[in-house]
Every structure is written in structure tokens, then in C-alpha cells.
Amino acid sequence: MWPPFALPNWGLRVALVEETHLSGVCLNWGYIPTKSLLRNAEVISLLGRGKEFGFSLEGFRADYGAAVDRSRKVSARLVKGVGALMRKNKVTVIEMLPRVLPLEDAEVGAVVERAFKRRRIKLLTAIRLEALEMTDHGVQVRIFGKKGEQRVEAERVLIAVGVRPNSEGLEAVGVQTEREYVLVDEQMRTNIPGVYTIGDLTGKMALAHVASAQGIVAVESIAGRETARLDYAMMPRCTYCQPQVASFGLTEDQAVRHGQEIRVGRFPFLANGKALGLGEREGFVKIIADAHSGEILGAHLVGPEVTELLPELILARSKGLAPNEIAHGVHAHPTVSEALMEAVHDVFGQALHL
């Protein structure tokens, strides 16, 4: 079937039901407006490094209200809705697990942790949230860790501990669920004929691009067309912080625990000309490959705009390309994507610029 993701008119009729605004979480108050705010944060961070780039600013003031207004305009332009966002100032990060980004490769988490500390972001790991108490000046957060009970004062508190499915009422009509998530097969079919489920309700991966891929699978199944099986272990994961984090597949630790013999290729952005020109030298590209077959088992990137670099590696993985086959592809110079080429060369100890 070609092209696999074309959406021709198959004579299907769709009824769209939204609880609040069109486009739901992603475009209204999730992915899109938050990326607008992050862009503001990136610009402010760059302006704060004026001495490094040879300029100075007198009387510089960051207007956070304007930043929020801009993010709302971006959302309105896309979905004619308003994003509900808040800002944080002086961003203490409390993590229940032993390190930041606990689901990512340990080396990646270490780079992000160092970057946060340099920006004077206080990181508290292996900490349990006990209680929140409103005060005259904001919120007091009561936490518990190795040092016993502590209290943190904050203007605002953002709790980000996962996604809860909005599955209320489905069991009443017979849809099978488990821990509130709807059980589906590979075609997104539920146990009720004619009822399909995609997105956060499936409990697979609470990511917009995963939901979109599931939607395509569901529609193709409904239309009786051939469809692809989604490999959730290889879905791209992106963390929009500074520096950015992007990954898919197994971490190095996971591959070792699975008993696989691996080769690891790395390339630091410190040796990438474009990254140096951007003043973003922090981070690296890391490739995990099977030592015998060369199969790419995972990739872990931290650095400038690395969320834009994943598609090449995802395509290579889906088409069964080995690292040496990616390495033979000519990458334009100077670009940050050259770090990919260097990292796959390094899987076999043949990096050109290390």
C-alpha cells in the first residue's frame, strides 16, 4: 500500500466530540503554547549571555505577561482557543525517583542536571511530596527525603505526575478497562465491536504523536485497509527543556540488563562546529547497537534542537538500517545533524572528528 499514510476519501463519516475546546490538551494548553513559552525562555537565556557574544543590554526586563499572551495567540491561531498557562520563577524541581529524567539514559539525565544547576535551579531528588499548604505569599510544599521533612516556599506549584484517563462511564456500556485505561488490540479495537480507542485512554504512551499514529491505524482498520503494527518501545520521546532531550528505544542500562551484547557510539556537541557557533556546546548523541547484527536498539540525544534530529534515526530503525549504512549518508556541513553521522561512525570506533 502506497503511500501508507495517505488519507483518501473512503466514504467514512466522523462525529467529533470535545469536552471543552477543539483540539484538546495538545494545542490548547499542552504542547503548542508551552513550546511558545519555552522559546521565550530560550531568548531570555541567550540575552543573559550577552558578554559571551559581545553585546550588553541596559535596563533589560523580561515581560512574562507578554510571553503568556504570545503563547495564547499561537494557540488561538491554530485552534481558535486560549491556552491556560502559568509561569514559574526561581522553575525548584522535586523528583520522587533518584535522578532527574529517570526514564531516560543516565548520561542524558546527568547533562540536564548539570545544566539546571548552572542556571541555579534547585534540584531535589529521591523526595516524596507530603502536602501542599496555601500561604499569604503563595504555597508551602512539605516534602520528605533522606534529610527528613523539609518545607519549600513557592509562588506557584506545578504537579506533573502523569496522565489520568477520562474513561468515566465506559465500563457502564461494557467497554473493558484496566486501572481506568481502555484495553485495545493492535488495530485499536476494544472488546465492543465497532468501538475503537486511541490516545491517552489506551495507557500506551501519553504523547500526541503516538495518539496521531494510533488514529491512523484505527481509521485504516475501520476502513478495512492494511495497517501497520505500532512498536511502542521505539516511539520517539522528547523532553523540551534546556538542553533538549530526545530518545527512543533501549537505554544502555536496559540493553545490558536484557543480556544483549552491544556497541555504543557517542559524539559530543563540543566537537560540532554548528553547535559551537550557536553557543550550545553542551550534550551529545549516543547510539546503542547490537554488537553482532548492528541493529539500532536505541538512541539518546541531549543538546541543541535534538528533538529535530530524531526522524532520521527513527526512519533508519524502521527500515532496518545498520549504523554503517547511516554513516554513508552525506550530512551537510555545518549542521548539528553531523553529530548523528559521527555517532554512528563511533559505534565501530571510526568517528572522524574525535
Q: How far apart are CA 64 and CA 70, in angstroms?
A: 10
Per DSSP, helices labelled H in the chain are: 24-29, 31-47, 50-53, 64-79, 106-118, 208-222, 252-257, 273-278, 310-318, 323-327, 338-346
The C-alpha cell of 274 is what? 554548528
Concatenated DSSP letters for 166-207? --TTTGGGT--EETTEEP--TT-B-SSTT-B--GGGGTS---
Q: Which of 300, 333, 345, 353 is catalytic?
A: 333
Strands 93-94 and 123-124: parallel
Q: Are the beta carbons of 288 and 252 closer than 8 angstroms?
A: yes
Active site residue 300: no
Cβ contacts of residue 115 below 8 Å, gap of 6+?
Answer: 242, 243, 282
Nearest-angstrom CA–CA distance, 205 and 215: 13
Decide the pairing of beta strands 128-135 and 123-124. unpaired
Q: Which residues pair with 63 in a beta bridge?
A: none
- Residues contacting residue 98 through CB under 8 Å, at least 6 positions apart: 125, 126
Kindly state the DSSP code that residue 291 receives in the 8-state scheme: T
Active site residues: 333
